[in-house]
Amino acid sequence: MHDTDEPGIPCAPEIGLLLVDTRTGRVGEFRDVQDGRWWLRPRGGGYEWDVDPGAVRLAQQGDAG
């Protein structure tokens, strides 16, 4: 786990945890932290994208992805 100073989820989660990018609604697996940004990857693979740690939430059962 990596500490962040951002609101939202306070520490970087375990790799593979499903998160929702609240800006786009996309669901992705947590992959890494680089330069204060979190990297998510679509479930099942695909291109990773970066998010602000304050703009994510834990995915719920009804979230698409």
The CATH code of domain 1-59 reads: 2.30.30.1060
Domain limits of the chain? 1-59
Q: What is the pLDDT of residues 1-59, one digit of tens each?
A: 444 444 566 688 999 999 999 999 999 999 999 999 999 999 999 999 999 999 999 99
pLDDT, position 64: 75
Residues 30-60, buried b or exposed e (16+ Cβ, 10 A)?
bbebeeeebbbbeeeeeeebebbbebbeebe
pLDDT, position 65: 64
